[in-house]
Amino acid sequence: MIEVRNLVKKYGDHLAVDHLDFKIEAGRIYGFLGPNGAGKSTTMNIMTGYLGATEGEVLIDGHDILREPEEAKRHIGYLPEQPPLYMDMTVREYLEFAAELKGLRKKQRSGEIEEVEKLVKIKDVEHRLIKNLSKGYRQRVGLAQAVLGFPEIIILDEPSVGLDPKQIIEIRELIRKLAKNHTVILSSHILAEVREVCDYIMIISKGKLVASDTPENLERMLGQNNIVEIETKTSPAEVRRILKNVPGIEMIETQPEENGIIKGSIREKKGEDIRESVFRAFASAGIPLLTLKVSGTSLEDVFMELTQRDALPSAFAKNTGWKELIPEEDEAVGTAEDGHAPDDPAEKAEKTDTEDIAETGEEADRDAGDI
Ligand code: ADP
Ligand code: MG
């Protein structure tokens, strides 16, 4: 549905996107995960046709985003990092305007705006000026704009930056709701966020795709040897006998019996998943397993490894074919060779750890209540 081929973006000498290749399939929630400056926004701006690439191409349902922008853009709704909102418009005026830009037929516009307003819960503020809305509500207006026309693909750049915890939960719920009928791609520099909502994660570091898989597989792939914890009603000797012929086991440790229950830790060989065979072995021996769970590396570890170490652990490189990561260096603001469309490039200078910075300047959240 989306195919990104050999995508490169240079800002002057600075390589912001470094030969990205990936495919997006319908019906999933994808997460672009990477530290600030990794190249997420640049990639998204190129994928949505707001920024030209230095090399490579992006195909949306077979249409080249640069050569056939109209056709390609029809499939995409985009919420950029800084939503392109018009502060002096009311919410309704803005959505009417966005609907017109998107080429929605006049007859449908009003009905569809109503539908989207209900979906993102902004109906009650539709006559308020956007400048008087809180960050959370503005973000929803931006989201409404992206969803208008109900395009197949919805791309959201850091949708929860600057929101408070309650708003973050609301936005997540919304994203999940949208994902029922749309393919969603979102970016974040916060692992927990991506882990929470996405079913496929692409880790980007220094403009390179360093890993892409489901959260579970990423954890497993990079994991030191995972440990499978079991609890069962038998003796330690019996545990060993049952597991003797299960392949993929490196080591078994058992604790002394307690109230008739044995706790065991089974260390897997790298890259193995023994859960099913362990289950079957106990089942065929007629011994009940009370617990069977993997305790291994967390995704947090994977993320740190991939984005902060100067090389991939050998096991991971072997598994995936990815070889090398350039050591992390401070995020530099490159030369503003072209605009960071669709709006202000100045954002770059102040964008370090946006996570904690709610808002600055006169547009700060000073409205009463939650609005
Ligand atoms: P992310 O969204 O992952 O934080 P970006 O795509 O915004 O990363 O930025 C990737 C790199 O490109 C960063 O080093 C950033 O400073 C640089 N960059 C982004 N936009 C511009 C621009 N308009 N001019 C020059 N450098 C830019
Ligand atoms: Mg960004």
pLDDT for 241 beyond 50:
yes
pLDDT for 248 beyond 70:
yes
pLDDT for 185 beyond 70:
yes
CA of 15, nearest ligand number: 1
Q: Give the tens place of pLDDT for each residue, 70-113.
A: 888 889 999 999 888 999 999 999 999 999 988 888 888 999 99
**Which architecture does CATH list for 224-295?**
2-Layer Sandwich (3.30)
Q: Is 40 in the pocket of ligand 1 (CB under 6 A)?
A: yes
pLDDT of residue 348: 40
pLDDT above 90: percentage of residues in the chain: 54
Question: pLDDT-based confidence at 215, cuts 50/70/90?
Answer: confident
pLDDT for 223 beyond 80:
no
Q: Is 83 in the pocket of ligand 1 (CB under 6 A)?
A: no
pLDDT for 165 beyond 60:
yes
Any long-range contacts for 190-197 (C-beta under 8 Å, 24+ apart)?
190/355, 191/33, 191/299, 191/300, 191/303, 193/31, 193/160, 193/168, 194/31, 194/33, 195/299, 196/172, 197/29, 197/31, 197/172
- pTM metric for this prediction: 0.69
Q: Is 16 in the pocket of ligand 1 (CB under 6 A)?
A: yes
Choice from 340, 343, 344, 352 to test ligand 1 binding pocket (greatest atom count within 8 A of CB): 340
Ligand 1 atom with the smallest distance to the CA of 45 is: 6
Q: What value does the mean pLDDT take over residues 39-53?
A: 94
Q: Is 336 in the pocket of ligand 1 (CB under 6 A)?
A: yes
Q: How far apart are alpha carbons 324 and 340 in whole angstroms? A: 28
Q: What value does the mean pLDDT take over residues 172-181?
A: 91
Q: 258 CA to middle of ligand 1, Å? A: 57
- Average pLDDT over the chain reads 81
**Which architecture does CATH list for 2-207+336-367?**
3-Layer(aba) Sandwich (3.40)
pLDDT for 350 beyond 90:
no
Q: Is 346 in the pocket of ligand 1 (CB under 6 A)?
A: no
Q: How far apart are alpha carbons 70 and 79 in whole angstroms? A: 18
Q: How far apart are alpha carbons 324 and 328 in whole angstroms? A: 12
Q: 142 CA to middle of ligand 1, Å? A: 21
Q: Which is more confidently placed, 220 or 60?
A: 60
Secondary structure element (H or E) that encloses residue 263, with its range: strand 262-268
Q: Is 331 in the pocket of ligand 1 (CB under 6 A)?
A: yes
Question: pLDDT-based confidence at 133, cuts 50/70/90?
Answer: very high
Q: 12 CA to middle of ligand 1, Å? A: 11
Q: Is 41 in the pocket of ligand 1 (CB under 6 A)?
A: yes
pLDDT of residue 19: 96
Q: Which is more confidently placed, 151 or 306?
A: 151
Enumerate the domain spans of the chain. Answer: 2-207+336-367, 224-295
Ligand 1 atom with the smallest distance to the CA of 39 is: 6
Q: Please tell me if the domain spanning 2-207+336-367 has the same topology as the one spanning 224-295.
A: no
Ligand 1 atom with the smallest distance to the CA of 345 is: 23
